[in-house]
């Protein structure tokens, strides 16, 4: 009797977990079973929040910051235990960082300053420790893994300013870390890809600094001007690690919208009602023109969402300067000439697919050397999920990144 009851409870639990965690994934995705499990765990974590929200603890957009992904610790970084590199915590220009250096630290080494992803509001340098350790080993560079401050507590421009300050310090005083300042590149993924591009844009225009040697931009978030690009419409629910409305919430928090107003701003931005019609026809619009996308992606396959209300003047008034600011949105920079050679990863299953395509295309049009990596079967976040589970799409992208770095370093 007892055993029967136990078996029933266990069966029902497994069934419940499977139902909550299940999400139909698109065909063509690499490693679908592994991704199914990873997304199942993610959905379960979110289901816990749904229960909290039901009990009155905020709304989904208010809770888009996942605090369990931003732990702070003073313990040695985990990868220090591997023992092949010197891995230490430090503070550069007032910003906490993790530094990965060769053990025998004689002579000068090239370096990469890395900015983690997480929508400018979540994740941490520690969460990226394993990936950064691999980056350091595979490229033979010193890695500076930057724990920049996060929104909503520290909205734009604080996160990007932290990244600029750390990179400028390395370009000026890299010798302190045995870094050859003529061989420094920047890198980042998702929001961190945006930060890497912004830092490259800003510091390339500072004449007294050594030139950055490259920028590596993994599936970046590049603009909050048009949230109805074809990838936003067609891939919204493809892999539930990042949906179109969550991206709108991240942008809103990064813009400095507070918790009280986040639901309203997120809805307006996600419905693309935050920009007035005349601005939609301005020069800014030409930077996100779908005609810059590869021909097969210029028209969404799904119908555009029907929006019933008009544009929101109050929201626009509050965000208009930020939306057009190149440090918030490198894609809005009128002039991209002279930037360092770029590696751009674009994933097939990613609401930000078109942001990556657009930035790569605009760099190319400005005469910048671009290595575009189209991750067929890849999805948003694959290089960080890869630290938990082997993924073909992440592996092939990273191996191309490591060759790109070696090429740039003339190795």
Ligand X SMILES: *[C@@H]1O[C@H](CO)[C@@H](O)[C@H](O)[C@H]1NC(C)=O
Positions annotated as catalytic residues are 190, 350, 380
Q: Check residue 184 for interaction with ligand X (CB under 6 A).
A: no
Q: How far is the CB of 304 from ligand X (least distance, A)?
A: 8
Helix 2-21 vs helix 32-54: crossing angle, to nearest 10: 100
Of 27-35, 189-197, 237-245, 331-339, the segment contacting ligand X by CB under 6 A is 237-245
Of 8-16, 94-102, 204-212, 235-243, the segment contacting ligand X by CB under 6 A is 235-243
Helix 313-323 vs helix 262-270: crossing angle, to nearest 10: 80
Of 44-52, 143-151, 199-207, 241-249, the segment contacting ligand X by CB under 6 A is 241-249
Residue 362 contacts residue 284 (beta carbons within 8 Å)? no
Q: How far is the CB of 78 from ligand X (least distance, A)?
A: 33
Q: Check residue 223 for interaction with ligand X (CB under 6 A).
A: no
Give the CA radius of gyration of the chain. 21
Q: Check residue 101 for interaction with ligand X (CB under 6 A).
A: no
Of 44-52, 149-157, 208-216, 228-236, the segment contacting ligand X by CB under 6 A is 228-236
Q: How far is the CB of 381 from ligand X (least distance, A)?
A: 16
> Of the candidates 201, 233, 252, 401, which one interacts with ligand X according to CB under 6 A?
233
Q: How far is the CB of 236 from ligand X (least distance, A)?
A: 4
Q: Give the residue with the Cβ less far from ligand X, 203 or 227.
A: 227
Q: Check residue 31 for interaction with ligand X (CB under 6 A).
A: no
Q: Check residue 268 for interaction with ligand X (CB under 6 A).
A: no
> Of the candidates 63, 101, 244, 266, which one interacts with ligand X according to CB under 6 A?
244
Distance (Å, rounded) from C-alpha 131 to C-alpha 384? Answer: 7
Q: Give the residue with the Cβ less far from ligand X, 71 or 303.
A: 303
> Of the candidates 180, 226, 234, 245, which one interacts with ligand X according to CB under 6 A?
245
Q: Check residue 307 for interaction with ligand X (CB under 6 A).
A: no
Q: Check residue 243 for interaction with ligand X (CB under 6 A).
A: yes
Q: How far is the CB of 244 from ligand X (least distance, A)?
A: 4
Site for ligand X in 56-95 (CB under 6 A): none
Q: Give the residue with the Cβ less far from ligand X, 305 or 338.
A: 305
Residue 158 contacts residue 178 (beta carbons within 8 Å)? no
Based on the number of CB atoms within 10 Å of its own CB, is 277 exposed (0-12), middle (13-18) or buried (19 or more)? Answer: exposed
DSSP category for residue 26: P
Question: 102 to each of 105, 203, 260, how far by Cα in Å?
Answer: 6, 27, 47
Question: 370 to each of 223, 224, 359, 376, 399, how far by Cα in Å?
Answer: 19, 23, 10, 18, 17
Which residue is closest to ligand X by CB?
236
Q: How far is the CB of 231 from ligand X (least distance, A)?
A: 10
Q: Check residue 231 for interaction with ligand X (CB under 6 A).
A: no
Q: How far is the CB of 239 from ligand X (least distance, A)?
A: 12
Q: Check residue 236 for interaction with ligand X (CB under 6 A).
A: yes
Q: What is the β-pairing status of strands 342-349 and 370-379?
A: parallel
DSSP category for residue 306: P
Site for ligand X in 154-173 (CB under 6 A): none
Distance (Å, rounded) from C-alpha 142 to C-alpha 180? Answer: 10
Residue 347's SS3 state is: strand
- How far is C-alpha 178 from the chain's CA centre? 29
Can you point out the beta strands (E) in 15-169? 85-92, 95-102, 109-115, 142-146
Q: Check residue 301 for interaction with ligand X (CB under 6 A).
A: no
Q: Give the residue with the Cβ less far from ligand X, 248 or 391.
A: 248
Can you point out the beta strands (E) in 75-202? 85-92, 95-102, 109-115, 142-146, 179-189
Q: How far is the CB of 224 from ligand X (least distance, A)?
A: 14
Residue 124's SS3 state is: coil
CB atoms within 10 A of CB 408: 20
Q: Check residue 305 for interaction with ligand X (CB under 6 A).
A: yes
Q: Can you read off the two tokens belonging to residue 217?
A: 């931009």
Q: Which residues sit at the interface with ligand X, rule CB under 6 A? A: 232-233, 236-237, 243-245, 270, 305
């Amino acid at each position: 009797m007892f055993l029967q009851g136990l078996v029933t409870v266990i069966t029902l639990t497994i069934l419940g977990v499977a139902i909550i965690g299940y999400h139909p994934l698109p065909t063509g995705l690499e490693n679908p079973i592994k991704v199914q499990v990873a997304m199942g765990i993610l959905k379960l974590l979110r289901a816990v929040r749904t229960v909290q929200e039901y009990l009155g603890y905020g709304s989904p957009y208010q809770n888009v910051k996942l605090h369990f992904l931003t732990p702070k610790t003073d313990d040695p970084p985990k990868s220090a235990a591997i023992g092949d590199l010197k891995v230490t915590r430090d503070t550069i220009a007032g910003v906490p960082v993790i530094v990965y250096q060769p053990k025998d630290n004689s002579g000068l080494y090239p370096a990469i300053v890395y900015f983690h992803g997480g929508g400018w509001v979540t994740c941490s340098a520690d969460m990226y420790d394993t990936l950064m350790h691999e980056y350091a080993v595979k490229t033979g560079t010193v890695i500076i893994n930057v724990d920049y401050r996060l929104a909503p507590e520290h909205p734009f421009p604080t996160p990007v300013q932290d990244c600029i300050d750390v990179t400028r310090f390395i370009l000026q005083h890299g010798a302190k870390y045995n870094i050859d300042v003529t061989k420094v590149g920047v890198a980042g993924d998702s929001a961190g890809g945006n930060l890497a591009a912004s830092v490259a844009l800003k510091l390339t225009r500072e004449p007294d600094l050594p030139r950055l040697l490259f920028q590596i931009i993994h599936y970046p978030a590049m603009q909050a001007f048009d949230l109805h690009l074809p990838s936003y419409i067609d891939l919204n629910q493809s892999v539930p690690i990042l949906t179109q409305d969550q991206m709108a919430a991240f942008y809103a928090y990064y813009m400095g919208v507070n918790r009280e107003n986040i639901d309203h701003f997120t809805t307006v931005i996600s419905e693309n009602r935050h920009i007035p019609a005349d601005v939609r026809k301005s020069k800014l619009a030409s930077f996100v023109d779908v005609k810059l996308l590869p021909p097969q992606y210029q028209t969404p396959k799904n119908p555009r969402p029907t929006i019933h209300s008009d544009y929101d003047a109050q929201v626009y008034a509050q965000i208009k300067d930020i939306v057009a600011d190149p440090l918030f949105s490198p894609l809005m920079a009128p002039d991209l000439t002279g930037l360092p050679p770029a590696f751009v990863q674009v994933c097939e299953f990613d609401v930000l697919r078109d942001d990556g395509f657009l930035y790569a295309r605009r760099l190319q049009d400005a005469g910048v050397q671009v290595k575009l990596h189209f991750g067929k079967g890849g999805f948003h976040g694959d290089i960080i999920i890869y630290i938990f589970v082997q993924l073909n799409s992440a592996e092939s992208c990273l191996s191309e990144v490591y060759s790109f770095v070696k090429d740039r370093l003339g190795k």
